[in-house]
Structure 1
Amino acid sequence: MAHRIRVTGTVQGVGFRPFVWRLASELGIRGQVLNDGRGVEILAWCEDPEAFATRLRREAPPLARITAITIAEERLGPPPQDFRIVESHASAPATAIAADAATCLDCLAEIRDPAQRRFGHAFANCTNCGPRLSILQRLPYDRANTSMAGFAMCPACASEYADPADRRFHAQPIACPACGPRLWLAEGDAVHEGRIALDRAAEIIRGGGIVAVKGLGGFHLAADARQEETVARLRRSKRRRSRPFALMARDLAEIRRFARLDAQEAAQLGSSAAPILLLNSEGEALAPSVAPGQSTLGFMLPYTPLHHLLLARLDGPIVLTSGNLTDEPQCASNAEAQERLSALCDALLMHDRDIVQRVDDSVLRMARHGPIVIRRARGLAPEPIALALPDAPSVLALGGDLKSSAALFTDGRLTVSQHLGDLSTPLARADFAKMVEVLLALNGARPALVACDLHPDFHASHVAAGLAARFDAPCVRVQHHYAHVLSCLADNGITAFATPVLGVVLDGMGHGNDGTVWGGEFLRVDHAGFQRLAHFPVVPLPGGDAAARQPWRNAVAQLDATLGWEAVAGSPALRHLASKNATALRRSFALSGAHRTSSAGRLLDALAALLGLCVDEQSYEGEAAMLLEACAARSTSGGSYGAERCATGPSWAPLLRGVLDDLERGTAAEIIARRAHDTVIAGVVSQVEAIRDAHAINRVALSGGCFNNVLLSDGISDALAARGFSVLVHRGLPPGDGGLAAGQALAALQARSEGLN
């Protein structure tokens, strides 16, 4: 009897068809398997298709992610003589796109073995590793639809590609020294090729130079992480004053020379995603300019053969930062790199395999509850989230203007794009528009709904309005913090609201429904939408956007609103604010139209300013809060200053009074910072308990960029769990604005259906 078996999920570009062939051959099943726009289709003449499907799911290749297997009986006549892999069928895409994967151990062993024909080859890969999204032009995922189409296979590669017993059977990016791609180093007028290019690149780095390296999803700038003069030069060239640089080390042993590393962290670093992982620094010192003022270092391991070969020629870690000027997209093409990076580096290490989709490095850190995804990109995106909404219409969501990403819901899966960066420059905005079109094209989608942030001036919201008009679709504007809560719920596979959820959202700022700027929110969420139950104190946001850049403004605003400026202005603890015109600033608070905010992020900025950690100007978004966390992490002596509540939510009077008192006593900054964290934790937990008492809500979802802070994330989630709450945290999406689009998509569906079922 013939059966048509349909497998959906991430099943293309991961060795799934060869796996099906091997399993069918083992079981004596006859038929065929192919890729099409919907996933993998199997025609199987067998007696027990359910048993076959069970093994398909249980033994799938390591990079495969199966979301569904369906079986239908077919009347197709006599079976073929064997089981075959047939050519793919092009049709409307409905399959998940595989993420790029770090070099597997088998390929790594080959490039290190002089007896292998791929010894020293910078582009070795197989069905278990290598480029996927970054080289994909269209579905289905076949060589002809990737940037490998122009590289004809040599006879040896063609033989491996056609051999079902070989791990490169139907490996679409298959490559070797004979058939390409080609590697070269451009150094002024000189061009070095192959292994000589790698030798010379390593020599330049050892000598204190900077090399632009074409990686998997874009160019990076590489420099010796121990040479301060070089790292400082890199900062000046990139116009990157103090944001920490990413690092790449040869192996785990090398990382352990500079940072603490436990088993969970080692597993994350060695995973197929190979992310940048923030680790607590410990041991030998790197150049001070690598991560100024931070207690963590962002390390990754080599994730392509090219990186492995380069690091093997060096005796220490390198800075490996994105190849761009600050706030611009990462360079992806050779021409782009030569134009934009030549002035920043001493040589460019390039190759002729085109990067079709720009993909930055993913960034994670470990909390007690698991990994926190800070930036979701290479190795993680665009793996979809399966949602049980079978009849829901397609939705395109555009996120926000910071840490932007787009999301598409279609065919029961939510696909969130790779991190697209901040939309503050024309280049970044053009790149965002291009990536949105790619997301639609690769998924063959025509959205019935378009969603965006409530903020009227976001560039992403303007793009959404244009797309809504183009597709003749409603444009649903979603309140920022409500989207954060729904993003956390989607991340946990929750689409039904049998009981309400309390969303605790702590972030920098988002447009509120009442005309103020929100950011410390306690939201009741159910099938009808959301209700704001409580919030952090509303204080002036002096200067609007200027307050987000200049922490001292928030310090004055918080003190004035909470304790009264006249009562504290003479405190010795505020001498470092004496040069600021606090009187004129306070006068602006009373002006009509002055911004007001409940932002948790601005509270953390104020605390950083009071401690003198970041007073005048932040050089990047979140710097003050990161320095505050780093300072607190240096102390284990904490304890809350006390938790108080007022009619609208937590009161920070004990916090601010306690900080000033400790400063006047000369208490160490790290102890004050730790106590400040503990007080915020206590205040949030106390408010959640009060809401449970009043509204009988026991399930709490934590979201917002402040939950990138491990002290806050662990402290709040642990304290709530200890008090019997069911706590939901982000699992695969960022708690910050990188996950916003996912929540917007669900909000649009909820608005359409008046409840997710």
Structure 2
Amino acid sequence: MNGRRIRVRGQVQGVGFRPFVWQLARRFGLVGEVRNDAEGVLIFAAGEGVDAFQAAIVTEKPKLAVVDAVEWEPCAVDAESFVISASGEAGSETRVTPDAATCEDCLGEVFDPGDRRSGYPFANCTHCGPRFTIVRGLPYDRVQTTMADFPMCEACRAEYGDPGDRRFHAQPVACADCGPRVWMEPDAADWLAEAVARLRRGEVLAIKGLGGFHLACDAANAEAVALLRERKCRVSKPFALMAELDVVRRFAMVGEAEAALLRDPAAPVVLLDKGPEALPEGVAPGMARLGWMLPYTPLHHLLLRAFGGVLVMTSGNLSGEPQVIGNDEAREKLSGFADAFVVHDREIARRLDDSVERAEPRMVLRRARGRVPGTFRLPEGFGDAPQVVAYGGQMKGAICLVKNGQALLGHHLGELDEALTWDAFLDADRDYAALFDHRPEVVAVDLHPGYRARQHGQARAEAEGLRLEEVQHHHAHLASCLGENGWPLDGGRVAGIVLDGTGLGTDGTVWGGEVLLADYRGFERRAWLKPAPLVGGDMAAREPWRNALMRLDQAGLGPWAEAVFGDRPLAMLRMAAERGVNAPLSSSAGRLFDAVAAVLSLCVVQSYEGEAAMRLEALADESGRPGYDFGGEDEIDPAVMFTAMKADLDAGTPLGEIADMFHAGLARAFAGRARALVETGEAQAVALSGGCFQNARLLRYMSRALEDLSVPVLVHREVPAGDGGLAYGQALVAAARSIPRESG
């Protein structure tokens, strides 16, 4: 029969796409076949309804599917019915589906006393369950996952083989008769009852999940929270929380957007404003928002339903190390933290932290479980881009691969100075390359010679004869924002406001507060925050009072610094700054946030990265005032701001109002410089990037200051604004430089 050969590309394996196509073909009376192969899903179909069938492939696709393209050509189809064929040859042109939270159908079975999966902690189907955390190779079939060790029982095999069943070819399908099992250590007859009893007694449990272990305790028990902090040596960094949605609503403000994000199949940690009821301050000292997630596996649902309250769910790891994933590793490393263990015997193929996100304004802050390894389509003009690997920065390490018009931004890895995190980075580099058959022609790295990611990329380029592209840190941030928003390769230059911690500039100083006039291929630095010495180098990031001293001295307010920080070695720091001893100049906006937080006595020494800025944001109250003025033209000078701030403090102005005016003034100062580039016609858009834009208040004020422009204002949503998105921007810059302008 005359028919069609239909190729479907995208996230189409492991999501029930073949049975969906099979059911669709039966509905339209078609004959032919469907199968997975190295490029996605391949369909041969013939019949009068083939046009409607092909349209429905996109409009009715399974909920976890992402269809990038549907291509077809005429062909002969010799068939009497429509069948699902075995997978074709192995390959990696398609992509693996991220892990997905338990669906309503599976959850109903878990809590149905009459169902054969009642109480089973690993119920899943094609609409939910583990994917990326269990896959070892492509194509995505059971033998290529950590479920290969669990032969299916007769009942599960029948479901797996029935195209009409929602478990048809669901690779992790299992039940209590044949699948993974959960147990308690020390041993208990009923793991669930024992876990709940221990949590209610104020104990700490290590619980194995999808991408690693969590440490859990009763979040309403201040003593249990303090015990966990003491054991983990985690002074004040916020803990993530897990509860059922009706419980979350008691403690947090949950609007429609927040509820939808909490219920998303990715099941991220969502930052929510505090609500009517309060948890102990020790859960997140000094914060106005808490990080919440819903239970996302049957094991979590069973535990939370039985417990009935809120659990702290923080990563199970030693300080600075990656999350623990193996049972033996957990026993070795977490025994000093946990009173007992909830473990299971399904191996985790790769560790993934929980994603962290915000609903309003929408932003992914940490891209990990549930989002990875989803890809981004490259913007218009990048069709001829070569395969590129980009290695990101030093903080919040992540890797990006470019291949076949898609960019795969890998998962959050952490601080690459830590030995085990560095090992995890190397593992991820090998893992992604093997899993997606990636053979780069270009390697993209940061300018900083001390970044381990740069050193690794440079060594690889030299060893394999690949072209090395060095990409300035803030240019990469800007490019990542352009790429996420689909800005065309030859869409023109934009005014990029890039505010973050630190990144090496082209002039040898440390940048961090810039207005760039740029496209993907290059940039000009048009405005910047007045540099100040970072006395002690990295120590300045850990001790905000150092930044405050330098900024107050610049503003002629040295006596104020002596009054506030008189117990610190001010003379020694001033001498180091004067002589330039380990005191590089920096325009960092992140360090300016630190300085203001220290001046307001919110955070003089940080116990975790970003603490000072987060406390400053949490303190700020909407003042209605326009914000403090900043001096200078190309060089934005905060001296006048500090002078006004001191006057307000002396007058007794509330600290929340002062913090708000700092945010508003900083936004107005940088927005004004970007606005000028638009008004002269040099910039065709404005883009906001860098880790400081994870601050919702700053982003809101910056957007307001730019809202009447006649050009687009581009912001981050799915790609992290901070260093977690850096590799994506590096990859785009390297790809752009590989494409001649005339073919872009």
Which amino acid in the other structure matches residue 720 of structure 1?
Answer: L
Task: Give the alignment partner of residue 275 of structure 1, picking from 268, 272, 292.
Answer: 268
Q: Is the 8 A contact 1:639 1:679 kept in 2?
A: no
**More displaced stretch, 492-501 vs 117-126:** 492-501
Cα distance in 2 for partners of 1:42, 1:192 equals: 51
Task: Give the alignment partner of residue 728 of structure 2, picking from 742, 746, 749.
Answer: 742
Cα distance in 2 for partners of 1:339, 1:475 equals: 41
Q: Is the 8 A contact 1:124 1:174 kept in 2?
A: yes
Q: Is the 8 A contact 2:354 2:369 kept in 1?
A: yes
Equivalent residue, structure 1, for 2:171: 172
The alpha carbon displacement at 1:230 in A equals 1.4
Equivalent residue, structure 2, for 1:453: 446
Equivalent residue, structure 2, for 1:98: 97
Equivalent residue, structure 1, for 2:641: 655
Q: Is the 8 A contact 1:103 1:129 kept in 2?
A: yes
Which amino acid in the other structure matches residue 192 of structure 1?
Answer: A
The alpha carbon displacement at 1:498 in A equals 2.8
Question: How do 1:198-237 and structure 2 match up within 5 A?
Answer: 198-237=192-231
Cα distance in 2 for partners of 1:718, 1:460 equals: 37
The alpha carbon displacement at 1:261 in A equals 1.1
The alpha carbon displacement at 1:37 in A equals 1.6
Q: Is the 8 A contact 1:650 1:687 kept in 2?
A: no
CA offsets per residue over residues 693-725 of structure 1, 9 Å max, x none? 345324011110000000001111132123444
Which amino acid in the other structure matches residue 625 of structure 1?
Answer: A
SS at match of 1:378: coil
The alpha carbon displacement at 1:122 in A equals 0.2
Q: Is the 8 A contact 1:643 1:650 kept in 2?
A: no
> Where does the alignment leave 5 or more consecutive residues of structure 2 unmatched?
none
Equivalent residue, structure 1, for 2:590: 601
The alpha carbon displacement at 1:644 in A equals 4.1
Task: Give the alignment partner of residue 287 of structure 2, picking from 285, 294, 298.
Answer: 294
Task: Give the alignment partner of residue 577 of structure 1, picking from 565, 568, 580.
Answer: 565
Q: Is the 8 A contact 2:521 2:733 kept in 1?
A: no
The alpha carbon displacement at 1:528 in A equals 4.1
Question: How do 1:131-530 and structure 2 match up within 5 A?
Answer: 131-187=130-186, 191-192=187-188, 196-249=190-243, 251-368=244-361, 371-387=362-378, 388=380, 389-526=382-519, 528-530=521-523
Change (3 A) 1:640 1:649: farther
Which amino acid in the other structure matches residue 530 of structure 1?
Answer: F
Q: Is the 8 A contact 1:528 1:754 kept in 2?
A: no
The alpha carbon displacement at 1:47 in A equals 4.7
Q: Is the 8 A contact 1:49 1:71 kept in 2?
A: no
Change (3 A) 1:698 1:753: closer
CA offsets per residue over residues 162-196 of structure 1, 9 Å max, x none? 11111111111101111111111112xxx236xx1
Task: Give the alignment partner of residue 611 of structure 1, picking from 590, 600, 604.
Answer: 600
Equivalent residue, structure 1, for 2:15: 14
Equivalent residue, structure 2, for 1:83: 82
**More displaced stretch, 585-594 vs 518-527:** 585-594
CA offsets per residue over residues 650-698 of structure 1, 9 Å max, x none? 2323321111111112222111111111111111222222222345324
Q: How many percent identity over aligned positions?
A: 47
Count, aligned residues = 739
> Where does the alignment leave 5 or more consecutive residues of structure 1 unmatched?
none
Cα distance in 1 for partners of 2:112, 2:628 equals: 62
CA offsets per residue over residues 381-417 of structure 1, 9 Å max, x none? 1110011433221001111111111000001100011
Which amino acid in the other structure matches residue 178 of structure 2?
Answer: C
Q: Is the 8 A contact 1:651 1:683 kept in 2?
A: no
Cα distance in 2 for partners of 1:297, 1:512 equals: 35
Which amino acid in the other structure matches residue 578 of structure 2?
Answer: A
SS at match of 1:97: coil
Cα distance in 1 for partners of 2:698, 2:410 equals: 27
Which amino acid in the other structure matches residue 65 of structure 2?
Answer: A
Which amino acid in the other structure matches residue 34 of structure 2?
Answer: V
- TM-score of the two chains, using structure 2 as the length reference: 0.97
Question: How do 1:577-726 and structure 2 match up within 5 A?
Answer: 577-592=565-580, 594-615=583-604, 617-632=605-620, 635-726=621-712
**More displaced stretch, 156-165 vs 588-597:** 588-597
Which amino acid in the other structure matches residue 563 of structure 2?
Answer: R
- TM-score of the two chains, using structure 1 as the length reference: 0.95
Change (3 A) 1:503 1:549: same
Cα distance in 1 for partners of 2:166, 2:669 equals: 55
The alpha carbon displacement at 1:285 in A equals 2.0
Change (3 A) 1:431 1:135: same
Change (3 A) 1:50 1:469: farther
SS at match of 2:579: coil
Q: Is the 8 A contact 2:384 2:739 kept in 1?
A: no
Q: Is the 8 A contact 1:536 1:599 kept in 2?
A: yes
SS at match of 2:608: coil
SS at match of 2:72: strand
The alpha carbon displacement at 1:541 in A equals 1.3
SS at match of 1:534: strand
Q: Is the 8 A contact 1:642 1:655 kept in 2?
A: yes
Change (3 A) 1:16 1:153: same
CA offsets per residue over residues 452-479 of structure 1, 9 Å max, x none? 1111111111221232234321121210
Cα distance in 2 for partners of 1:610, 1:108 equals: 51
